[in-house]
Structure 1
Amino acid sequence: MKHIISILFFKFSILFAQFSYPAEDFLGGGIGYSPMYIKLREIPGSQALTNVGLDPTQFNDPFVIHGGEGFAHITGRWRIGSYAGLGGSSISTKPIIKTYVDDDPLNTSGTKGWNGETLDEYTGVYDPSIVAKLSFLLGAATVEYVMPILQDLELSSGALLGLGHVGLSLEQQSGENIGWGDAFSNVYGEFIEGSVYYAVDTGFEPNDPITPLPVPGLLREVGATFFNFQPYIAVKFQFLERLGLRISVGYNKGTVRQGAWKLNGRTQITDSPQAALEGVSFRMMGYIGL
């Protein structure tokens, strides 16, 4: 009986030793593909998109960022790393067009607009389409504290902090076929030997504003750069000698301050509103390493 108990004790000792984690410092690292899913509480510019006939709730929910992540132990149970990723989602519509003749274009009688006018539904092939795209770019560093559970299983808590860029583009395009030359046409006239020839009416003055000619499409983009912070907890499971799975759950917090948006990457929009890019986040990383 004592012999059997000794054998069982020996076997259980070996079994627990396999799952025990060394108390001393440990080294290692890994790199892999790490998509991030964010359940955004609000979409930047959602009211403006609604005003042009789009439904912002049709954007991908959760919003997906495809990226890569790496990590490495530095000392003790502290680990540092980095993350970089980008993602995008598009929505579109093709609204019904109703035409009217404005009897008061200068608003001299206060009746400018479609209200009270005769409306006709457009039946041609040039009805426009409207497309909006929300894009998100993120680059950040990570720092975390590791709490070993078993030999191949770890729990860690940390934070991801860095810079993000959000962009919102709006394209409005007529239904006509656009060729390669049309994509690069001059919207102000004909360019010949360093000069643009611009046709005007007889009453045009030399200092009057010059406006673009009719174009088949119009693309505008507003964007902003902001500081991004994401606290999280993570579970790391090393299921093979050099392969593992890491799952992180956190809360993303980023704020674009008022007036920080730029049009087409150049012109500051001083009256642009503040926007929050926050929500519950989830990352799942398949990595190569230790």
Structure 2
Amino acid sequence: MKRILLNIIISASFGFSQGDIYPTETQYGGGIGFSTMYMVLDSVPGATILDSLGFSVNRMGTRPLVFYGGEGFAQMTGPWRLGGYAGIGAAQTSNVYNIHLYANRDKKVGFQQPALGNESKGDTLYAYSDKLSVKARINFLMGAMTIEYVFPVYRDLEVMAGALMGVGRYTLSVDQHIETPQWSKFSTNMYGYLKGDSVLVELDTLGGATRADLEDTADRYRINDLRPINVNGTMTELSGTFFNFQPYVAVKWQFLDRMGLRISAGYNKGTIGAGKWKLNGHVPVNDSPESALGGFTIRTVVYFGL
């Protein structure tokens, strides 16, 4: 019996030596490290655009969207801790489409498969050798400060409740091109050619049109706007900036003297207001819808410090 009691006392003494109760005096320190965050977005802003381009949002790899960045923190006064976070998450998808030319003979919008026996009066398809490559990419950039309240458990183990507050920027870019891009064509005007302070657009690009045909083509341009004729690729970028807020709870484990692990779980909340989207970084899109960027998050940090 005495031997059993002695073993229990020795085991208890070893256990307490590995995890001392957190000291009562105020501790000062900090750390910095590499951070990986996983965010499961409730919805993807611009999903309707992706759908219209033939992409499935599920193929974008946004569940979860993975962020890579850095995070740091410093003990301030008492149980309060301040820090900062910066990271970027990205996902992309692409596809290649065959191109077919068609003659619209039934005057209906889009190509209509002609009825059997009426091929001569219906729409007609013509072959085209090149293909259209389309790539869509989203970028989610986040920079913020963190504020936490620390609940010490043991000297090497802490539980925190806090919030991440800062600015986020979401970008949806779509690239469409035919053939291989050529450097010499980048300086070509996409509608015609420059002469002085004017752009001259040729109507009869194939030759053989009558005067009535040219008048009809000019009227169509005036009504439907010009179409690019000297470009084999386009890049469209839609972006929005917003205030980002992310409450979370975290656990910090100092497993070495100058190295530790932080794991946090929270919910991200941000909103791009209606009409706040911009085209190519500077042109406002006034009829753009409100877009929410919310979702459950898990963030891990391997840090160096105290």
Partner in structure 2 of residue 118 of structure 1: 123
Cα distance in 2 for partners of 1:127, 1:76 equals 64
Q: Is the 8 A contact 2:103 2:125 kept in 1?
A: no
Is residue 177 from structure 1 mapped to residue 180 from structure 2 by the alignment? yes
* Aligned CA distance change for structure 1 residues 121 and 16 (closer, same or farther; 3 Å): farther
**Code of the aligned partner of 1:139:** G
Partner in structure 1 of residue 208 of structure 2: none
Cα distance in 2 for partners of 1:51, 1:11 equals 66
Partner in structure 1 of residue 200 of structure 2: 198
Partner in structure 2 of residue 72 of structure 1: 74
Is residue 283 from structure 1 mapped to residue 299 from structure 2 by the alignment? yes
Partner in structure 2 of residue 186 of structure 1: 189
Partner in structure 2 of residue 95 of structure 1: 97
3-state secondary structure, aligned to 2:58: helix
Partner in structure 2 of residue 257 of structure 1: 273
- 1:246 corresponds to which of 232, 249, 262: 262
**Code of the aligned partner of 1:73:** Q
Tell me the number of residue pairs that the alignment of Structure 1 and Structure 2 aligns: 280
Runs of 5+ unmatched residues, structure 2: 115-121, 204-213
* Aligned CA distance change for structure 1 residues 41 and 4 (closer, same or farther; 3 Å): closer
Identity of counterpart residues, as a percentage?
A: 42
Partner in structure 1 of residue 285 of structure 2: 269
Q: Is the 8 A contact 1:96 1:122 kept in 2?
A: no
Q: Is the 8 A contact 1:220 1:264 kept in 2?
A: yes
Partner in structure 1 of residue 160 of structure 2: 156
Partner in structure 1 of residue 138 of structure 2: 134
3-state secondary structure, aligned to 1:57: helix
Partner in structure 2 of residue 27 of structure 1: 28
**Code of the aligned partner of 1:16:** F
Residues 224-282 of structure 1: per-residue CA shift (max 9 Å, x gap)? 00111111111111111111111111111111111111111111111111111111101
> What's the TM-score once normalised by structure 2's chain length?
0.82
Deviates more, 1:148-157 or 1:215-224: 148-157
* Aligned CA distance change for structure 1 residues 212 and 121 (closer, same or farther; 3 Å): closer
Partner in structure 1 of residue 52 of structure 2: 51
Q: Is the 8 A contact 1:35 1:67 kept in 2?
A: yes
Partner in structure 1 of residue 117 of structure 2: none
3-state secondary structure, aligned to 1:128: strand
* Aligned CA distance change for structure 1 residues 122 and 244 (closer, same or farther; 3 Å): farther
3-state secondary structure, aligned to 2:274: coil
3-state secondary structure, aligned to 1:235: strand
* Aligned CA distance change for structure 1 residues 244 and 119 (closer, same or farther; 3 Å): farther
> What's the TM-score once normalised by structure 1's chain length?
0.86
Runs of 5+ unmatched residues, structure 1: none
**Code of the aligned partner of 1:113:** G
Residues 104-144 of structure 1: per-residue CA shift (max 9 Å, x gap)? 6xx5xxx34322543537451x1101111011100001001
> 1:13 Cα deviation (Å)?
4.7
Cα distance in 2 for partners of 1:199, 1:274 equals 38
- 1:166 corresponds to which of 165, 170, 188: 170
> 1:157 Cα deviation (Å)?
0.8
Q: Is the 8 A contact 2:189 2:230 kept in 1?
A: no
* Aligned CA distance change for structure 1 residues 119 and 250 (closer, same or farther; 3 Å): farther
Cα distance in 1 for partners of 2:273, 2:68 equals 25
Cα distance in 2 for partners of 1:283, 1:92 equals 28
